[in-house]
Structure 1
Amino acid sequence: MLQNLLQEVPRPEGTQAEILQSDETAPGAIPEQAPRDCVLVLGMHRSGTSALSGLLHLAGCAQPANVMPPLVENPKGFFESTRIRACNDDILQSAGSAWHDWTAFDPDWTDGPEQADFHDRALETLTEEFGAAPLFVFKDPRICRLVPFWLGVLKSAKCQAHIVHIHRNPLEVAASLQRRNGMSADYGLLLWLRHVLEAEASTRGQSRHFVSYNDILNDPVQVIDATQDALGVTGLRGSAQGVEVFGDFIAAELRHFSEPVGEVTTNPEVSIWVRRSFEILESWAASGEIAADHAELDRIRAEFNQTGPMFAGLVQEGRELGAANKKLASEIEQAQAAALTQQSKIAQQLEAIRALETAAATDQAELATTRAAVIQGQHDLTAAQGTIAAREGELALAQDDLSKVRADVAQAKAALEDAQREISQQRSRLDGQGIALAERFEEISRLTLLLVKSERQREALTKRLAASDLHAADVEAHRNALLLSTSWRVTAPLRRVVTALRGLRRRG
């Protein structure tokens, strides 16, 4: 939602002279431009000018191109131009002044030769920072003392100035300056008075509106609506679109100092000038500007200007003392920081010592354990050496046995080689015997056939004998003839083999 409320601002290129001069205009002539609106925020340092400028930016006002980055003192940002701030510092310095000068700005400076040069520089810087934005917010607390100068620059830039004055409880401002800049509270009140009086007097007759810092914290949306109504500025986004965003931007916890209004208006230790100026500004912020109050503000400003030189020396001395106190406070702070750093280092060293002591105790325990282990190891080593000696004797015997075994293995290898040669020879003989055996089996087969033939003849003869009436003498003659026959003689070896086989069978 925040991005939707931000307005893109086109920025022209080139210098101020190039922007103002076109092809249709003669050199040195200023072309007609559409009127532009500038919301000029005026207020003392630490009075909420950044918060108000941020709200106006969220409401639709363009911010400068070179914005000051946020700091711890202003985490939401400053919404002011670094270049315009530098220009204002240079202007104040050229007049012998500074942002923290409580005295009136030199009125003769506006008629001096430097004014014209600064006018051209300011006009060019303004254009480069805001371009052709139709509506932009312009802020720097230093402008409170340089209002006439910047109103002239805005007029040259064809910009209509709409002025918003913002003020804050002067005691809160003084406290903030004291913490940030080391200023005394009284000196902070003088600065507050100078800024609000000069800004108010220099803007009379202009389009202007007054708000308080408390109003912004309490109801930022109402502040934007009231500002738009009072100044008649078109294009601002108020309650219709900005409630949530404005509320997120304004954080009450960013307010580090808070003082009741009564602490100023009823405090006798606060100057009557400060009390009455604050009361009038509070009244204007609540109910609107009252012209009758101008006279009293003029009187306060005149008295302030008249009496200023009388105690300027005292103030200067106070400033010097304040600067010395600030320097001393800074040195004390640095010394305290150094002491804290040293204490932290000492604590770290003590912690390191404790860690070393713990580690040493652990190491001693481990050393005692190691010593015991070493002693036990020495005993074990002695025993191991005895065992090793015994094992060495056993090893010598084993080596002797091994030598014998190796000799036996060598003999066995030789015997094996002899056996292998014998086996080879036996295989050769066996191969020859196999051939002979095959021939023998052939012979046996042939003889077997003859035997079978002879047996058949014998059986046939036996049958004939049984069937005939031959005498025994005839049988014997036939038997003898058989035994003398060639078949009987040839089968004789076979019969022996058969007889032997029958004997083996009976024994088995």
Structure 2
Amino acid sequence: MTPIAGLPRAPTRHAILILGMHRSGTSALGGVINALGAAGPKTPLPSHAANPRGFFESAPLALAHDELLASVGSSWLDWRQLNPQRINSEATEPYRQKIKQLLIDEFGDEPLIVIKDPRTCRFVPFMLSILNEMNVSPVALLPIRNPLEVAYSLHRRDKMALPKSLLLWLRHVLEAEYHSRHMPRYILSYEGFLVDWRKHMDRAAEKTGVVWPAHPDRSDVKVEQFLTTDLYHERSTPEDMRHHPEVASLVRETYQILSTIAAGDEDNGLLDQLDIMRTRFDDACETFSAAMATEELAVVQLRGELSTRSTETERTRQENSKLASFLEQQSLEVRGLAAERDALVGTRGTLIAERDALVNAQASLIAERDALLRDMSCIANERDALLRSRSWRLTAPLRLIGGLFPRG
């Protein structure tokens, strides 16, 4: 729609696209830009052990990007070029509308927003077309990190093989660089950014025309608390990369060119060299991607089988653990019953001993009673004898007198 003459134009909204490979410092850059006043998403990804201070990217937008990639037969860890016909076809229109609505929901009408998701490197033109529909002007910041450090970080986080990580790095940086040439942008070294973030943010503002809502001087404390080198885990020198057997010459040369651009100004000679790198990479992908895709599919299937077996093993382990717990409980109950039995046996022995003692005591009492009865019988006999003797003595005189004076 053409503006009505005489009416002021609505202020232009800007979106800062952070176009960097996974594990290349995109979260650190997003955090600093957010501290400088650019609006982040309303629904950010939660912090993680790999990013304890946050990702500074939209959770629903990242999910929508995964769905978009899946719709064209790709994923976040695919190093092959996206088919432009497929991603710009009618089949992806629902994803375009979904991403557009999520941008509206996540950022509202903020004048300066920061969109950060490494997946975006794979479909920069697709995202730019959505921002154009929203009348949002894009600028790009491209952090460049030593690809060997990126590969080590991905291996630590995702157990990804180094060669695949390096192919991913190559695809992301070449696509991001090529498709951001026509917009205001700034390419920076991740290591240099950690050393002096103020210089790079001033330089980014100068190169892109962005005015930071919060001046760096007023954001120092917030940034210094967030941006610390203790999160810089993987370290590798250019010399390490040059001599590493798994780093291809195409990776080394691309990193050298991008590092040169980051250290100074762009020139057509360096961009021409990057075009050569991209052409070589695309040609190699076209030659070997089918065979490698077959191998990767076999690996995925094998991982699926291993995952299934692992699940079954875990289920068996849990069942064995439950059985062991049951048996342990039964053993405890048996030991408890045995203890009760032993206690009862001990009580029974005590009762038997007490019974035997009572029997012995009873036998003793009976013997004492019998002895007393015998003694009583003897005493009775003695008493009877005494009575007879006494009676005889009493009657003896009478018998004598009777003899002297018989009756007659």
Relative distance call for 1:252 and 1:40 in structure 2 (3 A) is same
Q: Structure 1 residue 189 and structure 2 residue 180: aligned?
A: no
CA contact (8 A) 2:261 2:270 kept: no
Relative distance call for 1:345 and 1:245 in structure 2 (3 A) is farther
Question: What is the DSSP-based 3-state SS (H/G/I as helix, E as strand, rest coil) of the residue aligned with 1:322?
Answer: helix
Q: Which moved more, 1:299-308 or 1:251-260?
A: 251-260
Matches within 5 A, 1:216-295: 216-218=193-195, 220=197, 223-237=200-214, 239-250=216-227, 252=229, 254=231, 257-295=234-272
TM-score between the two structures when normalised by the length of structure 2: 0.72
Identity of aligned residues (%): 33
2:277 is aligned, of 289, 297, 300, to 300
What is residue 56 of structure 2 aligned with on the other side? 79
Cα distance in 1 for partners of 2:98, 2:35 equals 28
Which one-letter code corresponds to 2:178 in the other structure? Answer: A
What is residue 412 of structure 1 aligned with on the other side? none
In structure 2, the gaps of 5 or more residues are: 364-408
- Tell me the alpha carbon deviations over residues 196-225 of structure 1, each in whole angstroms, 9 at most, x when there is no partner: 101001111322112344345555555544
Cα distance in 1 for partners of 2:229, 2:314 equals 30
CA contact (8 A) 2:18 2:115 kept: yes
Greater relative contact order, per chain length (Cα 8 Å cut-off, separation 6+):
2
2:29 is aligned, of 45, 52, 74, to 52
Aligned length: 362
CA contact (8 A) 1:41 1:139 kept: yes
Relative distance call for 1:341 and 1:114 in structure 2 (3 A) is closer
Relative distance call for 1:312 and 1:352 in structure 2 (3 A) is same
Cα distance in 1 for partners of 2:351, 2:230 equals 70
Q: CA deviation at 1:175?
A: 4.1
Relative distance call for 1:170 and 1:348 in structure 2 (3 A) is farther
What is residue 79 of structure 2 aligned with on the other side? 102
CA contact (8 A) 2:38 2:114 kept: yes
Q: CA deviation at 1:189?
A: 1.8
Q: CA deviation at 1:316?
A: 0.6
Cα distance in 2 for partners of 1:336, 1:170 equals 37
What is residue 390 of structure 1 aligned with on the other side? none
Question: What is the DSSP-based 3-state SS (H/G/I as helix, E as strand, rest coil) of the residue aligned with 2:244?
Answer: coil
Which one-letter code corresponds to 2:104 in the other structure? Answer: T
In structure 1, the gaps of 5 or more residues are: 1-19, 26-30, 387-508
Relative distance call for 1:350 and 1:90 in structure 2 (3 A) is closer
Relative distance call for 1:124 and 1:346 in structure 2 (3 A) is closer
Q: Structure 1 residue 66 and structure 2 residue 43: aligned?
A: yes
Cα distance in 2 for partners of 1:338, 1:259 equals 41
Relative distance call for 1:377 and 1:222 in structure 2 (3 A) is farther
1:310 is aligned, of 262, 282, 287, to 287
Cα distance in 1 for partners of 2:87, 2:349 equals 97
Q: CA deviation at 1:265?
A: 2.8
The two structures, once aligned, show a CA RMSD in angstroms of 4.0
1:142 is aligned, of 114, 119, 140, to 119
Q: CA deviation at 1:361?
A: 7.1
Q: Structure 1 residue 165 and structure 2 residue 156: aligned?
A: no
Relative distance call for 1:344 and 1:72 in structure 2 (3 A) is farther
Relative distance call for 1:237 and 1:383 in structure 2 (3 A) is farther
Q: Structure 1 residue 130 and structure 2 residue 110: aligned?
A: no
- Tell me the alpha carbon deviations over residues 464-484 of structure 1, each in whole angstroms, 9 at most, x when there is no partner: xxxxxxxxxxxxxxxxxxxxx
Cα distance in 1 for partners of 2:303, 2:147 equals 21
1:152 is aligned, of 129, 150, 170, to 129
TM-score between the two structures when normalised by the length of structure 1: 0.60
Question: What is the DSSP-based 3-state SS (H/G/I as helix, E as strand, rest coil) of the residue aligned with 1:240?
Answer: helix
- Tell me the alpha carbon deviations over residues 444-485 of structure 1, each in whole angstroms, 9 at most, x when there is no partner: xxxxxxxxxxxxxxxxxxxxxxxxxxxxxxxxxxxxxxxxxx
What is residue 206 of structure 1 aligned with on the other side? 183
Question: What is the DSSP-based 3-state SS (H/G/I as helix, E as strand, rest coil) of the residue aligned with 1:60?
Answer: coil
